[in-house]
């Protein structure tokens, strides 16, 4: 347990020092930015057809350290932590900065979590 906690703390430190934004990983996709009232980027979302990337492809692309799944109505939700992305939200007591949702054949990838609709 101590090793896992240490790994998570190191990963969060790396994220804070060198995190990247989603738009550095995807191009030519439906992209939405969420900004606070001062214009600072606080979230972003890409949407695409599920045939373009599998979850495993996304895990590899973002060097995902851990992930856990959930669902809401007809939406499959995966929460994950990536050391290469900025931002952190706490979900079920765990730091996450990548949310992958699937509704039908549409996939939404959000950083840190989806701030819009699925």
Q: Which residues contact 56 (CB under 8 A, 6 or more apart)?
A: none
Domain span at residue 10 reads: 2-111
Q: What distance in Å separates the CA atoms of residue 44 and residue 42, rounded to the nearest whole number?
A: 7
Query: Does residue 118 fall inside a structural domain?
Result: no
Residue 48, in any domain of the structure? yes
CB atoms within 10 A of CB 98: 24
Q: How open is the CA angle 22-101-49, to the nearest 5 degrees?
A: 80
For CA atoms 69, 45, 59, 48, the dihedral sign is positive
Give, for all 118 residues of the chain, the pLDDT tens digit. Answer: 677 777 676 666 655 545 556 666 666 568 888 889 999 888 888 898 999 889 999 999 999 999 999 998 999 999 999 998 888 999 999 999 999 999 999 999 999 988 766 5
What confidence score (pLDDT) does residue 17 get?
47
Q: What does pTM read for this prediction?
A: 0.75
Give the ranges where 38-82 is alpha helix by DSSP (H).
Answer: 55-61
Q: Considering its fold, how many domains does the chain have in total?
A: 1
Total residues belonging to the chain: 118
For residue 87, the model assigns a pLDDT of 86
Residue 93 lies in a domain: yes
């Amino acid at each position: 347990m101590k090793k896992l906690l240490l790994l998570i703390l190191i990963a969060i430190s790396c994220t804070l020092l060198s995190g990247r934004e989603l738009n550095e990983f995807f191009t030519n996709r439906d992209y939405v930015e969420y900004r606070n009232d001062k214009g600072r980027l606080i979230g972003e979302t890409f949407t695409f057809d599920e045939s373009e990337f599998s979850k495993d492809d996304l895990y590899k692309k973002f060097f995902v350290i851990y992930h856990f799944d959930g669902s809401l109505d007809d939406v499959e939700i995966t929460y994950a932590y990536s050391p290469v992305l900025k931002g952190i939200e706490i979900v079920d007591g765990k730091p996450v900065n990548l949310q992958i949702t699937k509704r039908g054949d549409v996939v939404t990838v959000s950083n840190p979590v989806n701030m819009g609709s699925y």
